[in-house]
C-alpha cells in the first residue's frame, strides 16, 4: 500500500516537471506578451479580461517562486511592469502584489522580491491616488518585516517606494497623512539606529515637504510623537551630528508655524525623562547640547523659561548628586551663559527694558540660588562658597578673556541677590575668598531689574 502511494507521488512530481518545463513556460510567456500588446492598443477593456490576464501573470510568478527559477521570475516581473505601464491593473493590485512580495521574502527568495518591488514601484507610478493610503500602509508593514529579517538592501528599496509615494500623491485624506508621518518616523528611527546620517537627512527633507503640504491641517499630535521618538533614539545612540540635524529640523518646523506651544511644553516635560542617560554620562558629547536645546525650547514657548529651567535643574541635580559639583560643572555652563546674556541685555537696553526678560532673569537667579541652597545643605558648605567656586570654575573654563568681566559681573549679581535676600552686609560678601570688590545692588537696580524682594 505504501509503495503504491510512493510511486504515485513520484509520478506526479515527474509529470509536474514535464508539463512545466522551460519550453512550456516560454510558450506560455510569449502568449501573455502577445495578449498584453493586444490589450494595450485597445481604448476600452473589460475588467474581467484584465482580471484574467493578471491571474495568468500571477500564476507564472508563483510557479517561478515554487520552482526557484529566478530567470522566469525576472521575465514575468518585467511583463508585470509593462502591464502596469499600460494601466492593465485591478483595484486590488497593490494588495495582491504585496502578498506576493511577502511570500518571496518568507521563502528567502530575495532576488525575486527585489524584482517584484521594482514592479510595485511601477504600479505606484500609474495607480489612482485613492489607493495611496493602502499602498503606504503596505509599505510600512514591509519595512518592519525587512528590518526584523535584517534585509538592508531590500529595506532600502521599500524606502524608495515610500519616498516616491510621498512625493507623488497629494495625500489629502487624514488617514493618509497620519500613515505618511508614521512611515517617515519609522525610517528615521532606522536611520538613527544604523547611524545613517544621509538617510536621516533625506527623511527630514521629505518630512518637511509633507508639512508644507499639510500646513492647513492639524497634525500636531503626529509631529509631537515623531519629535519625541527621534530625540530618544538620537540620545540613545549618542550621535552628536544627528542631534545638530534634529535641532535644525525643529527650527524649520518652528519657522513654518508647525511648532505649537503645546508641542514645546510637552517636549520640555519629556526631555528630563529621556535625557537622563546622556546627562549621567559625562563623556557623552550630547549632554551639553541637550541642555542648550532645552533652554532653546523656551524661545518657542512664548519665551517663558520657567518649565525649561526647572527641567534643566532636575537633570543637573542628578549629575551633581553622582559626580559632585567639580566634575559636573560643564553642565552648568548653558544655564549660566543664558542668565549672563539676559543680564547683559538688560544692562545694554536700560531705556527699553523687556518685561519677559526681567521675569526670566529673576527666575534664573532664584532657581540657581535655591539649587545652591539645597546643595549647600547636602554638602555642608555655604551658598557663598558655592557661588564663588562657580565663579572661579567659570573663569577657568572660559576660552575668551574678554568674557571674564561679564562672567564676574553675573556672578556678582548672583551673589548680591542672594545677599539681599538674606540681608547680608556688603563687607561680609567674598571676604573669605579674598574678593572684596563685590558690589551690592542699589535700590534703583533692584527696581529696574524687577528684583525687589
Q: What is the DSSP string of 240-273?
A: HHHHHHHHHHHHHHHHTT---HHHHHHHHHHHHH
pTM of the model: 0.81
Please write the tens of the pLDDT for every residue from 156-179: 999 999 998 888 876 666 777 888
CB 263 within 8 A of CB 228: no
Which position has the grid cell 502596469? 84
- Give, in order, the Cα–Cα distances in Å from 64 to each of 67, 100, 392: 5, 12, 76
Residue, of 219 and 232, whose pLDDT is higher: 232
353 has a pLDDT exceeding 60? yes
Backbone angles phi, psi at 285, to 5 degrees: -80, -15
pLDDT of 113 higher than 90: yes
First to last CA, the chain: 104
Task: At 298, give phi and psi (nearest 5°).
Answer: -65, -25
How long is the chain?
453
Please give the helix or strand (H or E) that residue 443 lies within, else none.
helix 443-448
Query: Pick from 214, 183, 188: which is nearest to 201 by CA?
Result: 188
Instruction: Tell me which H or E stretch contains 127.
Output: none
**pLDDT > 70? residue 271:** yes
Q: Exposed, middle or buried, 242 (CB in 10 Å: 0-12/13-18/19+)? A: buried
The stretch 27-55 carries a mean pLDDT of 83
Comparing 288-297, 334-343, 375-384, 425-434, the range with the smallest average pLDDT is 425-434
- pLDDT > 60? residue 444: no
Cell digits of residue 399 = 576660552
Check residue 245 and give left, alpha or beta (phi > 0: left; psi -120 to 50: alpha): alpha
What local confidence, expressed as pLDDT, does residue 19 receive? Answer: 54
pLDDT tens profile 57-77: 888 888 888 888 888 889 889
d(CA 397, CA 328): 12
For the chain, the 3-state helix, strand and coil shares in percent, each to the nearest 5, are 80, 0, 20
Q: What is the per-residue pLDDT across 301-328, written as a single tens digit (0 to 9) for each?
A: 665 678 888 888 888 888 888 888 888 8
Q: How far is CA 124 from CA 33, 97, 113, 308, 313, in A?
A: 22, 12, 16, 45, 51
Q: What is the reported pLDDT for 11?
A: 47
- Measured distance CA(28)–CA(32) in Å, rounded: 6
Give the residue ranges of DSSP H helices in 349-403: 355-379, 383-397
pLDDT of residue 445: 58
24-33, 79-88, 163-172, 399-408 — which one is most confidently predicted on average?
79-88
Helix (H/G/I), strand (E/B), else coil: 423 = coil
Per the model's pLDDT, the better-predicted residue between 204 and 381 turns out to be 204
Instruction: Please check the confidence at residue 411 and state whether its pLDDT lies above 70.
Output: yes
Asked whether the beta carbons of 453 and 420 are under 8 A apart, the reply is yes
Mean pLDDT of all residues belonging to the chain: 80
Distance separating alpha carbons of residues 116 and 119, to the nearest angstrom: 5
Convert 398-416 to b/e letters by CB count within 10 Å (16 or more is b): eeeeeeeebbbebbbbbbb
pLDDT of residue 166: 85
Is it the case that residue 116 has pLDDT exceeding 90?
yes
CA distance 199 to 187: 8
User: Taking phi first (over 0 means left), then psi (-120 to 50 degrees means alpha), and beta for anything else, what does residue 238 get?
Assistant: left
- C-alpha cell recorded at residue 151: 534585509
What's the rounded Cα separation, in Å, for the pair 409 and 348?
Answer: 13
| Residue 15 pLDDT > 60 | no
Task: Give me the mean pLDDT over the 107-114 stretch.
Answer: 92
- Give CA–CA dist 257/254, Å, rounded: 5
* pLDDT reading at 294 higher than 60: yes
The closest alpha carbon to 314, from 348, 354, 347, 276, belongs to: 276
Asked whether the beta carbons of 333 and 288 are under 8 A apart, the reply is yes
- What cell numbers appear for 47 in the block? 475588467
- Could you report the per-residue pLDDT of 220-232, keeping only the tens digit for each? 788 888 999 999 9
Kindly report the number of other CB atoms within 10 A of residue 324's CB atom: 12
Query: How many beta carbons lie within 10 A of that of residue 318, not counting itself?
Result: 16
State the Cα–Cα distance between residues 198 and 188, nearest whole angstrom: 11
Amino acid at each position: 500500500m505504501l509503495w503504491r502511494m510512493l510511486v504515485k507521488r513520484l509520478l506526479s512530481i515527474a509529470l509536474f516537471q514535464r508539463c512545466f518545463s522551460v519550453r512550456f513556460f516560454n510558450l506560455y510567456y510569449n502568449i501573455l506578451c502577445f495578449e498584453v500588446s493586444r490589450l494595450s492598443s485597445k481604448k476600452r477593456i473589460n475588467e474581467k479580461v484584465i482580471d484574467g490576464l493578471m491571474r495568468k501573470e500571477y500564476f507564472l510568478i508563483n510557479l517561478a517562486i515554487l520552482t526557484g527559477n529566478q530567470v522566469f521570475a525576472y521575465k514575468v516581473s518585467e511583463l508585470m511592469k509593462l502591464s502596469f505601464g499600460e494601466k492593465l491593473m485591478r483595484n486590488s493590485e497593490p494588495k495582491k502584489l504585496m502578498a506576493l512580495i511577502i511570500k518571496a521574502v518568507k521563502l528567502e527568495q530575495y532576488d525575486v522580491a527585489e524584482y517584484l518591488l521594482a514592479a510595485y514601484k511601477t504600479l505606484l507610478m500609474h495607480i489612482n491616488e485613492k489607493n495611496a493610503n493602502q499602498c503606504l500602509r503596505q509599505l510600512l508593514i514591509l519595512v518592519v518585516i525587512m528590518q526584523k529579517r535584517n534585509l538592508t538592501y531590500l529595506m532600502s528599496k521599500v524606502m524608495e517606494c515610500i519616498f516616491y509615494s510621498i512625493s507623488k500623491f497629494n495625500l489629502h485624506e487624514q488617514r493618509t497623512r497620519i500613515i505618511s508621518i508614521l512611515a517617515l518616523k519609522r525610517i528615521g528611527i532606522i536611520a538613527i539606529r544604523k547611524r545613517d546620517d544621509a538617510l536621516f537627512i533625506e527623511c527630514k527633507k521629505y518630512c518637511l515637504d509633507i508639512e508644507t503640504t499639510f500646513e492647513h491641517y492639524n497634525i500636531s499630535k503626529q509631529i509631537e510623537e515623531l519629535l519625541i521618538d527621534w530625540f530618544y533614539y538620537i540620545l540613545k545612540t549618542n550621535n552628536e551630528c544627528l542631534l545638530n540635524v534634529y535641532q535644525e529640523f525643529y527650527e524649520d518646523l518652528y519657522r513654518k508655524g508647525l511648532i505649537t506651544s503645546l508641542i514645546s511644553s510637552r517636549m520640555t516635560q519629556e526631555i528630563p525623562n529621556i535625557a537622563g542617560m546622556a546627562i549621567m554620562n559625562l563623556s557623552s558629547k550630547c549632554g551639553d547640547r541637550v541642555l542648550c536645546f532645552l533652554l532653546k525650547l523656551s524661545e518657542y514657548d512664548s519665551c517663558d523659561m520657567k518649565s525649561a529651567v526647572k527641567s534643566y535643574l532636575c537633570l543637573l541635580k542628578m549629575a551633581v548628586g553622582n559626580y559632585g559639583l567639580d566634575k559636573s560643572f560643564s553642565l552648568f555652563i548653558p544655564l549660566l551663559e543664558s542668565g549672563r546674556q539676559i543680564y547683559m541685555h538688560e544692562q545694554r537696553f536700560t531705556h527699553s527694558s523687556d518685561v519677559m526678560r526681567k521675569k526670566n532673569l529673576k527666575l534664573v537667579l532664584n532657581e540657581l540660588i535655591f539649587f545652591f541652597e539645597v546643595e549647600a545643605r547636602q554638602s555642608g558648605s555655604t551658598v557663598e562658597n558655592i557661588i564663588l567656586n562657580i565663579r572661579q570654575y567659570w573663569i577657568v573654563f572660559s576660552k575668551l578673556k574678554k568674557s571674564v568681566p561679564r562672567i564676574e559681573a553675573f556672578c556678582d549679581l548672583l551673589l548680591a541677590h542672594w545677599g539681599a535676600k538674606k540681608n547680608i552686609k556688603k563687607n561680609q560678601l567674598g571676604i573669605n575668598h579674598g574678593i572684596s570688590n563685590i558690589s551690592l545692588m542699589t535700590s534703583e537696580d533692584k527696581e529696574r531689574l524687577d528684583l525687589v524682594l
